[in-house]
Structures are given as C-alpha cells and as structure tokens.
C-alpha cells in the first residue's frame, strides 16, 4: 500500500512539473515554408501563446509570414494574463514578414501577459522593403501590466519602423549584439533616463539597408525620444556623395555617443575632398519642448581619415574628412606627374 501511495505521489509530482514547464514548438521544415503551415512545426501544430517557438534553421528564403491577417506574428493576442510566449531565432534562420502592414506584435491586448523574442542569429526582415513594416512591442492602449521584450543578441533585424507602441507599458528593446537596420523610424521608446525601451548596447545601428543612403527619425513631433548609443555600440553612416549620405533627425533632449564606435562607409568610387563636412545628425523642435536639444559625448573609436564633433551648441553631429598625410602626399605626387606629362 505504501509503495502504491509513493508511486502515486511521484506521478502527481511529475504531472505538476509538466503542467508548469514551458513547452517548445520547433521549426522542422528543412526547406522554405509558411509560418502558418502546421506541417512546418513539430507536433503538427502552430506555436501557441503558452509555448516557445524555436527556429534553429531554415531554407534560403526562410520562414515566411504572409497570410490574411495584418498583425504579423502575434505571440500574445487573445490568450490569458498568465500567457508567456517566447520566440527564439538562432543562427542560420531567416524570418520574413512580407506584408506591407505586417509587424511583430509581442503583446496585443492581454494585460499581465509576457512576450519575448530572443534573436541569437539569423535574419529577421519586417516589411521586406515595402515601406511600412513595423516591429512593435506593445499594441494595446490598456496594456499597463505585463511586459514585452526583444533581445537582439546576434544576427540582423531589418525593419522599416521600430516602435514600442504604448508609452506607459513595460517594453524593452535590448540590442546587445548583431546589426539593427532601421529604414525609417525609431519611435515611442521614452527617455533614456526613464529606463524605458531602447538600449543599443554593442549592436551596430545601420540607417537604411547596408550600402544605401537613408534618413531615419528618432521620435517624432508628438513623441520625443532621448537616445544613447551605449559604450561598445557602433553607429554606421553611408556616404555616397557630397549631397547624399545617411542622416538622423532626432526629437528629444540627449543623443549620447560617448564610448561608441563611429563607422563610415564610402559608397561606389566616391572620395571626399579634404575638409569636407557631413552633418549626419540633427535635432528638431517638438511639441512641448522645454529644454534645449543637446548632443553629447565623444566617440570612443573613429575611423581613419575622419573626425566627429557636436557643433552648433550640440545640435548637429558633423563628420569631417581629413586624409592622412601619406594619402595627401600620394595625391600631390599624382598632380606633379600629371603636370610633367603635360609638358
């Protein structure tokens, strides 16, 4: 009898552990496939709001989200306040949300629920260059409890818009590695001093797709946003000509670049003249502004031939091209040779 009771207790304990553990639904398609095709997932079912979705590897085009919904991946949509949804994206995985109105919605309408994306590698493309793809963490106006977190540990997140959504909700975008490509706007993440939202960390921030020229906004006229690059972070600006180069317009108080690395990529065959200036970061007034917008902090690492300084009372980040003496000497020898040939 005691043996039966003991076995029953162990069985009951195992059941209780199994009921509280987070189940994992793994992408099993060795080829390209649609997120909403149940055959692409272990067990023949789509990940639920109570499960971890695990994408370890995909085909060349990857997992595609292209269905009749306009909300993209809804990790927590119509579940319970106790829901916990996790999406893990690992090296070799490609996830594309290719509807123009698509976004990654971690929390949508369930107060108290939690949603997390851990991108360890691979590539996530939101909008596929359609112009309106949005990576949004929180979408409900009633979301004052619960949390939403996107952790970019590695790989590339390429999105038109990166948005927290509701300003009063708990949501964080932590870019501690990899590359973040923003083509249009970083929006609604609150002020750095409030510990809300956007921590770039050691991530590389690209304006627009790599090797293209783009302009992005940080905040907007109705939603100011302070921004700190973070020690160890990298800011990458592409320059195609004297009049065509990446720019940032910021609505906020502080843009801190202290300790960050500056990267400048010259596109095509373009080479600036000595002393050429490029105003890549500027501030604009926003509704309700009470303090002067000021950029601060010196880059920890600068590329060869470039200097960077906050000018105009800290409202403009200006890059200046200064060739190394050896480069100037070679240039002078080239001019001398041209003159001799003319003679």
Instruction: Write out pLDDT tens, residues 133-190.
Output: 888 887 665 566 777 888 999 999 998 888 887 666 678 888 889 999 998 888 877 6
> Whole-prediction pTM value?
0.82
Q: What percent of the chain has pLDDT over 70?
A: 69
In which residue are the tokens 């700190």 written? 228
pLDDT at 14 over 50: no
Q: Are 218 and 254 in contact (CB under 8 A)?
A: no
Residue in this structure with the two tokens 């059941």, named with its chain if needed: 15
Say how far apart CA 193 and CA 225 lie, in whole Å: 10
pLDDT in tens, 213-258: 999 988 877 777 777 777 788 999 999 999 999 999 988 777 888 8
Q: Which two tokens stand for residue 312?
A: 């105009």
pLDDT value of residue 342? 56
Say how far apart CA 185 and CA 208 lie, in whole Å: 10
CA separation for the pair 86, 71 (Å, rounded): 17
Phi, psi of 200 (to 5 degrees): -75, -30
For residue 238, what are its two tokens?
């592409």
């Amino acid at each position: 009898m005691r043996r039966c009771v003991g076995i029953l207790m162990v069985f009951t304990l195992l059941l209780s552990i199994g009921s509280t553990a987070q189940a994992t639904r793994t992408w099993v398609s060795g080829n390209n496939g649609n997120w909403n095709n149940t055959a692409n997932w272990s067990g023949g079912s789509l990940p639920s709001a109570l499960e971890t979705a695990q994408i370890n590897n995909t085909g060349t085009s990857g997992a595609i989200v292209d269905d009749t919904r306009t909300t993209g991946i809804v990790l927590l949509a119509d579940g319970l306040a106790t829901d916990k949804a996790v999406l893990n994206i690992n090296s070799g995985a490609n996830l594309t949300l290719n509807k123009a109105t698509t976004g990654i919605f971690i929390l949508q309408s369930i107060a108290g629920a939690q949603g997390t994306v851990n991108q360890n590698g691979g590539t996530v493309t939101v909008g596929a260059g359609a112009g309106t793809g949005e990576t949004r963490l929180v979408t409900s106006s009633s979301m004052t409890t619960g949390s939403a977190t996107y952790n970019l540990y590695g790989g590339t997140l390429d999105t038109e818009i990166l948005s927290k959504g509701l300003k009063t909700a708990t949501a964080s975008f932590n870019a501690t590695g990899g590359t973040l490509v923003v083509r249009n706007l970083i929006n609604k993440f609150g002020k750095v001093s409030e510990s809300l939202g956007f921590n770039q960390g050691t991530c590389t921030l690209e304006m627009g797709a790599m090797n293209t020229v783009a302009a992005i906004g940080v905040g907007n006229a109705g939603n100011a946003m302070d921004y700190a690059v973070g020690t160890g972070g990298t800011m990458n600006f592409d320059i195609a000509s004297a009049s065509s180069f990446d720019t940032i317009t910021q609505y906020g108080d502080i843009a801190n670049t202290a300790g960050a690395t500056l990267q400048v990529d010259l596109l095509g065959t373009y080479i600036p003249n000595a002393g050429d200036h490029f105003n890549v970061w500027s501030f604009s007034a926003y509704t309700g502004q009470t303090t002067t917008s000021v950029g601060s902090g010196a880059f920890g690492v600068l590329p060869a031939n470039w200097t960077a300084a906050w000018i105009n009372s800290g409202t403009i980040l200006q890059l200046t091209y200064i060739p190394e003496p050896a480069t100037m000497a070679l240039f002078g020898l080239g001019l001398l040779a041209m003159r001799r040939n003319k003679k």
